[in-house]
Amino acid sequence: MAAPHALAQDEGRAREEEMALRTIVVVGASLAGLRGAEALRAGGFDGRLVLVGAEPHLPYDRPPLSKEILQGRWEPARASLHRPETHDPLGLEWRLGVRARSLDLAARALALEGGDRLAFDALLIATGAAPRPLRGMPPLPGVHLLRTLEDCLALRAALEKGPRVVVVGAGFIGAEVAASCRARGLTVTLLEALALPLARALGPEIGALYAALHRDHGVDLRCNASVAAIEGADRVEAVRLGDGTRIPADVVVVGIGVAPATGWLEGSGLRLEDGVVCDESCLAAPGVAAAGDVARWRNPLFDESMRVEHWTNAVEQGAHAGRRLLAGEGRGEPYANVPFFWSDQYEVKLQAAGRPRGDDRVQVVHGSLAERRFVALYGRAGRLVGAVGMNRARLLVGYRRMIHERVGFEEALAAAARAA
């Protein structure tokens, strides 16, 4: 009897022949794009497989950019996702340092910067997202966004001069940058437009905990703070708030979220609404799939249209989208995953599973907020929809599984009580 892997490859080749797939292009040499390419090869596709990337680098991990690399504890090579022993045998054709300019869906062709045209039989879109600038943000030296390796290294070089740092936005990226700056002993002011950081996503109690965490580590956290202007002549000098307060700054980092990188798809015929709109299986059009930060799909597990910007989703959705392209016509297997993410700040690791919201019913079931070691469950419409833990990583695995199984909230509380 043939091995399961061999059978999967045989089935993949059969599908490939049926659809006459000879060239598949992946736009976005990212985590999602790389996992999609791996899944295509594992599924039996042995034709031409091209990965187009706007950055000049082979795929690398982004989470260390706001933490280990920014702090100077890692050098960039450590974040590389490319493993020669794994990826060289796949026969991937890399087109790095070149952006996709437009998509001609009818002609099944991709226009690249520089004038090249790349024909394809199937396409995986994994172009990720780009940081949102502040409205009216001046192009002054000392003002930074953080998304790419170059962004990180430029910011790291600036931090080595011992500057006064202002971080705009206390979401996960902004908070991680603030924590990394404090780890370097820098003076940091962290500005948040809401009353508490993370309160909209995780609720006011956890928002208050994170506010206290940063203040305990010496961050000047200012909430309900709106930025009126970033000031400076030859370089940044200060941030002026809406109430007139002026905060001196040598470095300003803007971390107010990201927008999906879909500008190159305008006029392509694909539906674009805060991402590339896909069906439940991650298909955006016949023979065109999307994955990672750029993809918006209806997750049947939550009956919700969502776009997820986290590492785990890029891994899982990238692989799913690759398999979906090999499946050919038809409805395709739904991508019904439970989102999962984490954030490392100071001595704590926050992990979250599902779709928690600040207005959910929240109950701490393990540990306590006071000791900063806990698990909290989130219920909505009688169902367990989220779990958030701090320094309790092992327990989150089980709750993620329960969310996937659509366990009721009371049932989850009872299970937690038995496990306590």
pLDDT digits 0-9 by tens, 367-385: 999 999 999 999 999 999 9
**Cα-based angle 234, 237, 239 (whole degrees, multiple of 5):** 130
Mean pLDDT (the chain, rounded): 94
Question: Does residue 238 carry a pLDDT above 80?
Answer: yes
**pLDDT score for 19:** 52
**Cα-based angle 309, 311, 316 (whole degrees, multiple of 5):** 100
Give, as one character, the DSSP assignment of residue 103: E
What's the whole-number mean pLDDT along residues 29-46? 97
**pLDDT score for 4:** 41
Return d(Cα 405, Cα 354) in angstroms, integer: 12
Return d(Cα 214, Cα 171) in angstroms, integer: 12
pLDDT in tens, 269-280: 999 999 999 999
Residue recorded with tokens 């004038």: 115
- Give residue 9's pLDDT band: very low, low, confident or very high (50, 70, 90): low
Question: Does residue 83 carry a pLDDT above 60?
Answer: yes
Question: Does residue 282 carry a pLDDT above 60?
Answer: yes
The amino acid occupying position 96 is L
* % residues pLDDT > 90 (the chain): 93
Question: Does residue 197 carry a pLDDT above 50?
Answer: yes
**pLDDT score for 3:** 45
Return d(Cα 49, Cα 40) in angstroms, integer: 9
What's the whole-number mean pLDDT along residues 389-417? 96
pLDDT in tens, 326-358: 998 877 899 999 999 999 999 999 999 999 999
User: Tokens in use for 40?
Assistant: 């295509």
User: Tokens in use for 238?
Assistant: 């200060």
Residues constituting the chain: 420
Question: Does residue 5 carry a pLDDT above 50?
Answer: no
| Domains of the chain, start order | 4-130+259-327 (3.50.50.60), 133-256 (3.50.50.60), 347-419 (3.30.390.30)
**pLDDT score for 331:** 76
Question: Does residue 11 carry a pLDDT above 60?
Answer: no
**pLDDT score for 18:** 44
Give the contacts of 414 (CB within 8 A, at least 6 positions apart).
Answer: none
Between strands 164-168 and 251-254, the pairing is parallel
- Chain centroid to Cα 368, Å, comes to 28
Q: Tell me, yes or no, if the pTM score tops 0.95.
A: no
Q: 168: helix, coil or strand? A: strand
Between strands 304-306 and 383-390, the pairing is unpaired
